[in-house]
């Protein structure tokens, strides 16, 4: 039996689903919801001589002294949730200090001095933070020979205008996804851009954006790597609309033909070379198959969404549970016995949610 730690946030369905699957397989799994500090958790870190240990109390914490774990999944932990009864004069201070503490955990948990005995981090917190950098990804891809689109990252209108002033079509994308909450619920999807689309110099200078040559492509590929295994889907657009530019539209029903896909040995080797350089053991790669057949790197997400692939017949939920339980960075998944999927873990997910509801009620009452 393995003991797995998942560091995540309260609203993350991936964390709950994988935890449920691990428990169904007979393993122990704890989810640490870091976004509930300090609103619903207390943390204590003891340093005594050469010993260091951490204890948390409250809903969504560890609720025990530090233990040894077969693996730890650094799964999109969110920032802190400030308490509501802080005096307005102190709110900025409390938020700043709590935020600094939360960020320090990433470095602390990556270090052997933390007192956490984690056999395998998926991914190591400090490496995960570096791997999120789109600028680093593109620079690294270009250096190891992975084809990328011609790219500009800038907030200077003159430079952007010169880049767009070309017969080659261009796209614009953000350094990170974002959703504007409101009546329309806008999302910053990747989009085609021309000189005429640019706002004024002042507005452009507020933040950098990514501008790239638009690749004439026949399909996009999402490849999910974990240990020595990977699973991939190829999405062929059914029209030339927004889905032909942003794969996040393509995987929705009615926008593409989706089929299982195998990468060429050369492309697989490039993906693994990037992961080795970044020091990570899992990642989701977004790739484009150009009209000439070449495979172009778009980006990687070290904690990308992957459970949606389950609906297309890929055993990603079962494989990732086995990967975490193994504690082996080179683990290769092979089917053995019943294979868990989204449907078969429904009852376990429901039981986990009921446990969390009861635990939260007890913590609130206390």
Confidence of residue 53 (pLDDT cuts 50, 70, 90): confident
pLDDT beyond 70 at 247: no
- The per-residue pLDDT for 342 is 92
C-alpha distances (whole Å) from 302 to each of 132, 274, 317, 321 are 7, 11, 16, 17
pLDDT beyond 80 at 106: yes
Average pLDDT over residues 245-249: 59
Question: What percent of the chain stands above pLDDT 70?
Answer: 90
pLDDT beyond 60 at 243: no
pLDDT beyond 70 at 32: yes
Question: pLDDT tens-digit profile of 169-206?
Answer: 999 998 877 777 665 666 677 889 999 999 899 988 99
CB atoms within 10 A of CB 110: 20
* C-beta of residue 246 within 8 angstroms of C-beta of residue 261: no
Q: Long-range contacts for 143-148 (Cβ within 8 Å, ≥24 apart)?
A: 144/270, 144/273, 144/274, 144/277, 145/270, 146/270, 146/274, 146/297, 147/294, 147/295, 147/296, 147/297, 148/296, 148/297
What CATH code would you report for 133-147+216-301+304-334?
Answer: 3.30.470.20
- The per-residue pLDDT for 363 is 61
Least confident piece of the model among 21-25, 57-61, 225-229, 342-346:
57-61
Q: What is the mean pLDDT of the chain?
A: 88
- The per-residue pLDDT for 74 is 96
Tokens of 36: 């509930």
pLDDT beyond 80 at 361: no
Question: pLDDT tens-digit profile of 253-301?
Answer: 666 799 999 999 999 999 999 999 999 999 999 999 999 999 999 999 9
**DSSP string covering 257-314, please?**
EEEE----HHHHHHHHHHHHHHT-SEEEEEEEEETTS-EEEEEEETT---GGGGGGT-
241 vs 351 pLDDT, higher one: 351
The highest-confidence range among 39-43, 89-93, 276-280, by mean pLDDT, is: 276-280
Question: pLDDT tens-digit profile of 122-162?
Answer: 999 999 999 999 999 999 999 999 999 999 999 999 999 99
284 vs 64 pLDDT, higher one: 284
The architecture (CATH level 2) of 150-214 comes to 2-Layer Sandwich (3.30)
Average pLDDT over residues 88-110: 85
Same fold, 133-147+216-301+304-334 and 150-214: no
**DSSP string covering 205-260, please?**
TTS-EEEEEPP-EEEEEEEEEETTEEEEEEEEESSSSGGGT-HHHHTSTTSEEEEE
Backbone angles phi, psi at 126, to 5 degrees: -70, -35
- Each domain of the chain, given as residue ranges in start order, spans 3-122+340-365, 133-147+216-301+304-334, 150-214
pLDDT beyond 70 at 334: yes
Confidence of residue 251 (pLDDT cuts 50, 70, 90): low
Least confident piece of the model among 66-70, 120-124, 248-252:
248-252
83 vs 124 pLDDT, higher one: 124
- The per-residue pLDDT for 103 is 84
CB atoms within 10 A of CB 358: 11
Confidence of residue 242 (pLDDT cuts 50, 70, 90): very low
- The per-residue pLDDT for 226 is 98
Q: Dmax of the chain from CA atoms?
A: 66
Report the alpha-carbon distance of residue 101 to residue 281 in Å, rounded: 26
Q: What is the pTM for the complete model shown?
A: 0.90
- The per-residue pLDDT for 117 is 84
* C-beta of residue 74 within 8 angstroms of C-beta of residue 49: no
- The per-residue pLDDT for 50 is 74
Average pLDDT over residues 28-38: 90
Question: What percent of the chain stands above pLDDT 90?
Answer: 60
- The per-residue pLDDT for 290 is 95
CA angle 273, 5, 283 (to 5 degrees): 20
């Amino acid at each position: 039996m393995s003991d797995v730690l998942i560091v995540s946030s309260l609203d993350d369905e991936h964390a709950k689903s994988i935890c449920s699957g691990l428990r169904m397989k007979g393993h122990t799994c704890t989810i640490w919801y870091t976004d509930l500090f300090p609103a619903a958790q207390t943390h204590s870190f003891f340093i005594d001589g050469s010993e260091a240990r951490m204890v948390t109390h409250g809903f969504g914490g560890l609720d025990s002294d530090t233990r040894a774990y077969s693996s730890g999944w650094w799964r999109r932990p969110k920032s802190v949730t400030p308490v509501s009864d802080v005096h307005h004069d102190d709110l900025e201070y409390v938020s700043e200090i709590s935020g600094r503490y939360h960020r320090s955990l990433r470095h602390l948990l990556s270090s052997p001095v933390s007192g956490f005995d984690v056999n395998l981090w998926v991914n190591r917190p400090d490496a995960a933070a570096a791997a999120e950098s789109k600028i680093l990804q593109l620079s690294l891809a270009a250096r190891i020979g992975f084809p990328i689109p011609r790219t500009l990252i800038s907030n200077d209108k003159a430079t952007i205008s010169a880049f767009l002033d070309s017969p080659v079509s261009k796209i614009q994308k953000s350094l990170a996804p974002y959703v504007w909450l409101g009546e329309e619920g806008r999302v910053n999807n990747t989009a085609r851009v021309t000189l005429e689309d640019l706002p004024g110099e002042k507005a452009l200078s507020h933040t950098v954006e990514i501008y790239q040559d638009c690749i004439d492509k026949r399909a996009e590929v999402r490849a999910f790597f974990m240990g020595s295994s990977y699973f991939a889907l190829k999405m062929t657009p059914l029209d030339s609309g927004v889905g032909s530019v942003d794969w996040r539209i393509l995987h929705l029903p009615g926008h593409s033909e989706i089929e299982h896909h195998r990468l060429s040995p050369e492309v697989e080797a490039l993906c693994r070379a990037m992961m080795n350089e970044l020091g990570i053991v899992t990642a989701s790669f977004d790739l484009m198959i150009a009209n000439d057949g070449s495979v172009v790197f778009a980006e990687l997400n070290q904690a990308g969404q992957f459970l949606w692939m389950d609906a297309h017949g890929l055993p990603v939920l079962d494989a990732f549970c086995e990967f975490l339980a193994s504690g082996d960075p080179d683990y290769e998944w092979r089917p053995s016995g019943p294979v868990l999927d989204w449907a078969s873990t429904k009852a376990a997910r429901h039981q986990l949610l009921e446990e969390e509801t009861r635990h939260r009620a007890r913590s609130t009452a206390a």
